[in-house]
Structure formats: structure tokens, C-alpha cells
Amino acid sequence: MRTDKEALADRLRQIVSSEAAEQFLDELNGLRAEDVAEAIGRLELADAVSILQALDSDLAAYVLIELPTETARAVINELPDATIAHYLDILPMDDAMDLREELDPDRFESLLNVIPQEDAQEIRRLMSYPDGSAGQILTEDFVEVGPDATMAEVIGVIRSGLEEEYETVNYIYVLSADRHLLGVLTLRRVLRAHPDAPAREVMNANPMSVPVEMAEEEVARILARYGFTAIPVLDHRGRIVGIITADDAQSVLQDAQTEDVLKLGGVSGDAEAYPSLSIWQLVKRRTPWLLILFVAEFFTGSVLRHYLGSAADDDPNSTLSIIAKLQLFIPLLIGAGGNSGSQVTTTITRALALGEVRSRDWWLVMRREFAVALIIGGILGLFGFARAVLPGLGWSQPLPLSITVGIALPCIIVWAAVVGSMLPIGAKRLGIDPAVMSAPFISTFVDATGLIIFFEVARRVLAAYGLVI
């Protein structure tokens, strides 16, 4: 059953300090960790910590790993070591590894000394594999039998195991005494085979497997391609060290796809949930590419300046001369606005696709993007002003024109951010796929409106210096 996360978040805010909190928390314990995590992610930090500590430990542990990295890191910093150690003990080891990203390395190491030694050793084994490899997302909790085990014995192994003992029972792995992978049994084959049939006669003797050093994204694509729910992972000697399940592979692919989509829009960084990123983090993700593109667009203006020559300097105060010089900056300004708008549109469209943002969040999104655009616009505005006015940078334009560029750039970027953030949300509300219309429309719209903003700013700035266009 689907849960209304916004309604759930609102109710969470109301019950944090209410007397009915205990009853409502009992209701929460019946919900899925993913839904509770999304609702908690919309709360203030203090409220999120209070709710998490009040939840059943098992649910709280899974909620914590479902939170976006930045949110989880903030929450973990408020939790005592004993609580985090308890969560590490509850979680499967591949999920416990996710907490490593949110914890300070020294604190994580100290927690490994607190949890049961068997769990700590398993985590350390996973940590020994290269970052981004199959070894870091595998789980050692799988069903294994020997080649002489009968189908009745295989079913007995599955039945006797605790519910949380195995990550999946869809596949049963047949291993030799030295843990080499001999074959794999599917649960369907086990149930349909004769109870006395040995595993060696029923198993698939040529199962697909992956090496432990293989990149996790490549493993995920193999799982997706063949529709497996799990795949065995082997060390360099052919011994099984664990399995990777489809849910972990799906997370890897989703993160990879998100990063690829954001890179196409000129946004760097990891695949973090949009609501969990601070304004400063959004600025850091977008500014580098904007600056690179900003510098590249100076060359277009240089080409225009080359062909304009010195004709515009014969009567520098004439209207035609001023307009000619203003044209030098049009590619720079419109390009910056279009690039900034594309970044915002790409980010919000992806967040909508993943359910991180909804149409009702428009005001929150616009406030964040307005603040981010002010900072980025200010940075680019200073660069643009310096590029226009300083002789050493090549253009050496009059002060009124340079001031015009310094003011128009932030205005255009802020406008592009507002349009770029609201366009996909508006399209979503109207039932239109934001990905279809946002990118083409934002470029065209910002080009046209950006010119209006530029010339209106120029008209007012130049008028203050007694110049007319």
C-alpha cells in the first residue's frame, strides 16, 4: 500500500511532543522503512532524531540506511555510539557498510570493536575489497549446500533458518568442501524435483558468476540484462565469497543513471537526494561547470569584437556604438542563463522522476533555487564585470557597460533558475512528462527573456551615466 509521505511528515511534526506519540509510533512500526525514511527526511533534524530513537530498533536501523547520505550523516552525528552499534548489529552486513559513508572513519572503526566479533570480521572483509567493486556490496548471507544433499535436505536447510538469516532463498548454491562453486539450484527446481534427488543431479552446473573485483555498476548491468535476482561473487581462486542481490544492483544503477543525467546537465557530484542537499552543496555542484562554460563563451565575444574592429570607437557615446558594444556580451549572458537554467531543470526533473520532489514542494524548491542562483549569479557577475572592465583580460570596456554586465548576469541567472525550477513542476502538475518539454523550452525561453533583461538593465545603467540607447 502506498503511503502519502507529505501527510505522514505533517503528522510526524505534530506528534513529536504530543501525548499521542506512543500510539502513532506503533502505527509507524507497521510501515515500510522506505516510506518512513522519506517522511523523516522532511523533518527538522531534532524532530528526525527524536522519531528515529522512538521507533522499534529494527525499523529504525533500516530507516537510517534509507535516508539520503547528507540527512543520515546529520542524524548519526546526534545519536550515541551505543545506538549506532546496535543498528550495525541488526543490519545485514552489506547494508551496514552503507553506514560507513555517513560515519567518521575513526568512529566507524571504534564501533566495530563494540559489535559482535563475527559481524565486525564480515564488515572488515567487505572493507578489504576495492571501493566501487562487487566485493563492497555483496552479502555473505546465502543458502549453501553440498553436492550430495537431497532436495528434502535442501528444503530442511531453508526451513530451519531464521527469517533474517538469508538475503534470498530463490537460489541455493552448491559448494565443494573447499567452497568452490559447483552449481546453483533454483527454488522452483528444488520443489519440483524428487525429494531424494541429490543436488549434483538437479543443479545448473554452469552458473553465471562475477569476480569480486568487478565494478559494481558492471555487475548491476549483468543482473539487469539477464533478469537474475542474485548472482554469486567469486574470489580469484574461484571460491564463493558472497552474492549480490537485485535490490542492491537496482540501487547502484539508479545512482549511476542519476549521476549520468546530472552530468548531461552540467551538474557534478554524487547521486544525493535533492531535498538533503544544502544550498552551499548545490552551489558547489553547479559552479565549476558554469565557470568552464562561462570562460568558453568569452571566445564568442572575442570573435564578435574582432569583426567589430575599432569602428564602434569612432564615436563611443553614439547609440549605434553602444548597441554594437552591448552585442559583444549577448552570447556570454544568454549562454550563462541557458546553462544555469538547464542545470536546474535537469536536477528538478530527475528529483521528480525519483519521487524526491513533488508538485506540492514548489515553494520549497523555488526558495532554494533562488538562493543558489543569487550566489552563483553573484560569482559569475563579478567574473563578467572583471572580464569586461580590466585591460589585462582583453576587452577593456567602458565602466557603464561593465557595470551593466555585472548586474545583468545575476538577474538573468536568477530568472533562469526560477523558470528552470518551476517549469518541470508545472509540467508534472499538468500531466506532461517534464523530461519531454523542459530542456528545449528553457533554452528558447531564457534566450528571449534574457535579452529583455539585459537591455532593460543596460538602459537604466547607461541612463545614469547620461547615455541613451
DSSP state, 239? B
Nearest Cα residue to 233 out of 211, 205, 204, 255: 211
Q: Residues 197, 331: one domain?
A: no
Q: Is residue 449 one of the residues assigned to a domain?
A: yes
What is d(CA 357, CA 364) in angstroms, rounded to the nearest whole number?
10
Same domain (yes/no): 393, 449:
yes
Same domain flag for 105 and 171 = no
Q: Is 258 part of a structural domain of the chain?
A: no
* Domain ranges, residue 28: 5-128
**pLDDT over 70 at 316, yes or no:** no
331 and 413 within one domain: yes
Residue 271's Cα: distance from chain center in Å?
2
Q: Is residue 256 part of a domain?
A: no
Residue 1: the pLDDT is 42
Look at residue 185 and tell me if it is in a domain. yes
Q: Is the pLDDT of residue 3 over 70?
A: no
Task: Tell me the average pLDDT across 367-392.
Answer: 87
Residue 163 lies in a domain: yes
Same-domain pairing of 115 and 181: no
pLDDT 10s digits, 327-340: 778 888 888 888 88
The answer to whether residues 397 and 285 belong to one domain is: yes
The count of structural domains within the chain is: 3
Report the pLDDT value the prediction gives residue 22, as an integer from 0 to 100: 61
Say yes or no: 42 and 186 in one domain. no
Q: Are residues 289 and 414 in the same domain?
A: yes
Asked if 278 and 380 sit in the same domain, the reply is yes
Residue 303's CATH number: 1.10.357.20
Q: Extract the C-alpha cell encoding 357.
A: 520532489
Say if 138 falls within a structural domain: no
Residue 231 to residue 432: CA distance in whole angstroms = 38
- The yes-or-no verdict on residue 146 having pLDDT over 50 is yes
Average pLDDT, the chain: 83
DSSP 162-194: -TTT-S-SSEEEEE-TT-BEEEEEEHHHHHHS-
Residues 407, 343, single domain; the answer is: yes
304 inside domain: yes
Shared-domain flag, residues 209 and 305: no
Mean pLDDT for 430-449 is: 77
Q: Are residues 228 and 282 in the same domain?
A: no
Threshold 0.75, pTM exceeds: no
Query: Alpha-carbon distance 226 to 224, whole Å?
Result: 6
pLDDT at 170: 92
Please say if the pLDDT value at position 361 is more than 80: yes
CATH of the domain at 90: 1.25.60.10
CATH (domain of 238): 3.10.580.10
Let me know if residue 198 belongs to a domain.
yes
* Residue, of 17 and 464, whose pLDDT is higher: 464
- Cα–Cα distance list, 261 to 240, 256, 264, 265, 268 (Å): 35, 9, 5, 7, 10
Helix (H) or strand (E) holding 23: helix 21-28
